[in-house]
Amino acid sequence: MKTGRLTLEELVGAFRALGGEADWCDIRTRIAGGRQHSIKPYKTKASYEGSLKQLLYERCPGSGKYRGDEKFKKVRDSRYRLLDFNLSSTVSSEERPSEPGDLEDALRRSREISESKRDATLVAQIKTMYGSQCQLCRKKLRLPSGEFYAEAHHVRGLGDGGPDRLSNMLCVCPDCHALLDLKAVDIPRATLIVNASHGLAQEFLDWHNARYKERWPVSPRTAQGSLTPASPATPRP
């Protein structure tokens, strides 16, 4: 868990983890998660969030507090970009990570590709369509602020040639998102929450499920919403 006063390195790290561009609420949530939602050593939530915004605004032209060290750019209302972000790696569906460090690295690179290519309007649309409820496990995550948090997942990843459109997207919680990115769970359509206007394409579900079967031993599901593979869950060599 990160402690001490907020740092520029911490803010930059959040941008990189989110693909170099993100909404303010996602940046704030990412940093809060790294601190296990502790505001220490700040005495109030207002001073904590004020310090975080100051780190951003001092390096973002047009913010009113810009001090000349340009590092971020405001894309539109409440959305910002890290200027020196460079996507230099890709994730192939043929990669088969086995060690914990490899899994984390593959997940990070998969997210970098998705964040760099996706349409933010579609992301907001899929979250609104499901009220930020996970289509797989049905969770709704409420933040201390009262806001609900969810993520958008491309069933066939953009780095694997998948299209950036609603028919290839799901609204998911962070836990399910990680499992899906690692192909650690399948996606049975019968258990999904699917809105009639969604237009979710079966071809992308079939693509994901084929990758899952190649990578992990097939295990029976238990209770509804259980997405954990049988233990031990070891990738096929």
pLDDT of 230 higher than 50 = no
In contact, 31 and 52? CB cutoff 8 Å: yes
Of 53, 82, 111, the position where a domain reaches its end is 82
* 3-12, 81-90, 222-231, range with the lowest pLDDT: 222-231
Q: What is the mean pLDDT of the chain?
A: 78
Structural domain boundaries, residue 134? 100-215
More confident residue, 65 or 59: 59
pTM: 0.50
- Residue 77 inside a domain? The answer is yes
Does 113 lie in the same domain as 54? no
> In the structure encoding, which two tokens stand for residue 9, read together?
């390195």
> In the structure encoding, which two tokens stand for residue 68, read together?
């000349």
pLDDT of 42 higher than 60 = yes
Q: Which long-range contacts (CB under 8 A, 24 or more apart) does 158-164 make?
A: 158/113, 158/114, 158/117, 158/118, 159/90, 159/91, 159/92, 159/110, 159/113, 159/114, 160/91, 160/92, 160/93, 162/204, 162/207, 164/117, 164/118, 164/119, 164/122
Q: How many domains does the chain have?
A: 2
Does 120 lie in the same domain as 185? yes
Tell me the three state secondary structure of residue 134.
Answer: coil
Going 117 to 121 to 124 to 129, the CA torsion angle's sign is negative
- Residue 235 inside a domain? The answer is no
Q: CA–CA separation, 11 vs 116, rounded Å?
A: 18
- Residue 2 inside a domain? The answer is no
Does 74 lie in the same domain as 110? no
Does 106 lie in the same domain as 182? yes
Does 152 lie in the same domain as 54? no
> In the structure encoding, which two tokens stand for residue 42, read together?
């700040």
Residue type, 133: Q
Does 128 lie in the same domain as 65? no
- Residue 233 inside a domain? The answer is no
pLDDT (mean) for 74-102 = 58
